[in-house]
Structure 1
């Protein structure tokens, strides 16, 4: 074999700060045979948006028929068990449009819902959208606070435990996360109420049993009062949420740790902290990124059982009370809002994926 026929071994050039710019080493380098053009990306994003629109319409249809399978008469529930004549019941059904044929109720519902009108609540006799907007801030405060805390804690601990795989701290954190992940959130909430709100043995009751505020407070005292009420429900959501995030992040990073590009980075003399932070973690973030966007949708959807356990005046508690009647317009409106939040969060994640890893969607 002549010298001309011998393939040349091209060494990758060093990147900034002495980082090896290996093709598999960073997300920005994993572009495949050619970079995605703007037209290709727009087609990809348009397909995802179109799929989201179809999903939203399917949710709209499902929300109408699903809750009509509940074996209960909402008109009789609204009367509270009082003796009501047949004529009065008929008037109530006519007032709320329940005496119309199912197909007419459906077309009216879809037409109104597309304009943001979900009807009048049977319980509260106010527009459904107004009830939703009144309860939304409380849900965002609770689940939003928990989301930020458990996402940051789960990613940080998941990275640490994976990088020290097999150590005592890794075994403890993994076992503890698995235990919390298997515990129902509402059960954990009840346990926290018993121990830290009611008090048990030498532990006094330190926190309120539920609600958003005690009432009568203003200014900074009001902020402290709300924060005091937030402690137990936030701990409940963080305990379960961080465990899930830790386990996903740990698993993803363990898959990356045996990759050749990390061996190359270490051979270049980079510090272990730099190898983890600038090479391994960015590549391991995609599954965790997916989980974070799914959970972002749940920030609006709330946690129905947790909000109910803590008597939190948010969308979850409102859904539970509406379902017990059943308050069909309110249940349908809340179900559509919950599903829309999750669908939009997933669609946003799909659209952002190619910006993090151009291999996605090829």
Structure 2
């Protein structure tokens, strides 16, 4: 039977639609305010990084010009000319304003020792660092999530004690010491263990192409990745374990079990998603470390990435290159933290209200 609508019905329908739309509009505006606040905080942090990177490395003892001309007979006039070319003769405040003005346009200066733009040097070394630390971050984040979940779900058992004990032990080991130990055992060879892996570098340099080149790089990648994973997975494991333990006493898990859901389903679909928020922060922080790489590990394994470049720049000191790398490292961390903050309200609507 057909029904007819009255003006009163139309008014009530319009009010219902408005009421339905109000929460969505409010939630959207709340998220925009949350995002704007986080973006403003990120910009302030980035400016603080620029200030810190300029003044921090100028307290390092040493004269860059004298370091570059070490072993070469150089007169005082020539040293003064070099300082003038690099802008080191200007007052400190003027050096700082010039540095900030150029950095805001993407110009990170010219390297003292390589006589090349800092941006080009960073771009050249970035792929090697992304490969090394990217693989390591993916592996130890997945390993930490998996082992942390299993340890928390069966907390107090033998597996939990064994996992946390090994993780804490490896976490306390210096990465460079572990890297040197792996080189001695698996590269040089000791006792019955033969040398299985290269001592350093990213490739053999014998001109391989195609699949042979990929396998060669993977062969060189094993020990540095193992070093980073062994030292890094413990943090993700412990954070995930702690978060899941906090969730395991929740009433919603008891309700889920009372409905007859299997224990595996309760863990995967109810407990773990609610425990992920702190771990998401950890994962994004780890992703921020991808750009920085690991200075010590790259140096120990002679890996041609940003970490080794930073060590070279710091030994001079090559101020523009050190400053540029510091800005890139810190900027990557700020960006990843910003993305994590923007993702939080999507995982938990209570955040940002």
| Partners of 2:329 and 2:243 in 1: CA distance | 29
Native 8 Å contact 2:30 2:352 kept in 1: no
Q: For 2:123, which of 93, 115, 133 is the aligned residue?
A: 133
- 1:72 paired with 2:62, answer yes
Could you tell me how far 1:82 is from its partner in structure 2?
2.6
Give the corresponding residue for 1:143.
133
**Secondary structure, aligned partner of 1:325:** coil
Q: 1:339 aligned to 2:327?
A: no
The partner residue of 2:34 within 44, 67, 77 is 44
Question: Are 1:257 and 2:248 matched, yes or no?
Answer: yes
Q: Is the 8 A contact 1:139 1:300 kept in 2?
A: yes
Match among 43, 48, 57 for residue 53 of structure 1: 43
Q: 1:351 aligns with which of 327, 330, 342?
A: 342
1:1-362 matches, cutoff 5 A: 37-215=27-205, 216-362=207-353
State which drifts further: 238-247 or 69-78: 238-247
Check whether the contact 2:293–2:307 (CA below 8 A) recurs between aligned residues.
yes
- Give the deviation of 1:260 after TM superposition: 1.0
CA–CA distance in structure 2, aligned partners of residues 170 and 231 of structure 1:
27
Distance in 2 (alpha carbons) for counterparts of 1:39 and 1:211: 51
RMSD, aligned α-carbons: 1.3
CA distance in 2, matches of 1:50, 1:170: 42
Task: Indicate conservation of the 8 Å contact 2:186/2:194, yes or no.
Answer: yes
Q: How many equivalent residue pairs? A: 330
- Secondary structure of residue in 1 paired with 2:50: helix
Kindly state the Cα deviation for residue 80 of structure 1 after the two structures are TM-superposed.
Answer: 2.1
Distance in 2 separating the partners of 1:258 and 1:184? 36
Distance 1:35 1:118 in 2: 42
Q: Is the 8 A contact 1:74 1:327 kept in 2?
A: yes
Detail structure 1 runs of 4+ shifted over 3 Å in the superposition. 33-36
Q: Which runs of 5+ in 1 are unaligned?
A: 1-32
Unpaired stretches in structure 2, ≥5 consecutive residues: 1-22
- For residues 47-82 of structure 1, the C-alpha deviation after alignment (integer angstroms, 9 at most, x for no partner) is 100110011011011111110111100000001233
CA distance in 2: counterparts of 1:35 and 1:155, whole angstroms: 35
Asked if the contact 1:35–1:358 (Cα under 8 Å) also holds between the matched residues in 2, the reply is no
Task: Give 1:26's aligned residue.
Answer: none
Please list the CA deviations of residues 328-352 of structure 1 after superposition, one character each: whole Å capped at 9, or x if unmatched.
0000000000000000100110111
Contact 1:36 1:358 in 2 (8 A): no
CA shift for structure 1 position 35 = 9.2
Structure with greater helix share of residues: 2
TM-superposition CA deviations, 1:173-222 (whole Å, max 9, x none): 11111111111111111111111111111111110111110112111111
Name the CA distance, whole Å, in 1 between partners of 2:182 and 2:160: 26
Normalising by the residue count of structure 2, what TM-score does the alignment of the two structures yield?
0.91
Which whole-Å CA distance do the structure 2 matches of 1:255 and 1:41 have between them? Answer: 27
| 1:124-174 deviation per Cα after TM superposition (whole angstroms, max 9, x unaligned) | 111000000000000000000011111111101111111111111111111
Question: Is the CA contact (8 Å cut-off) linking 1:293 and 1:346 kept in structure 2?
Answer: yes
Q: TM-score, normalised by structure 1?
A: 0.89
Give the secondary structure class of the aligned counterpart of 2:323.
Answer: helix
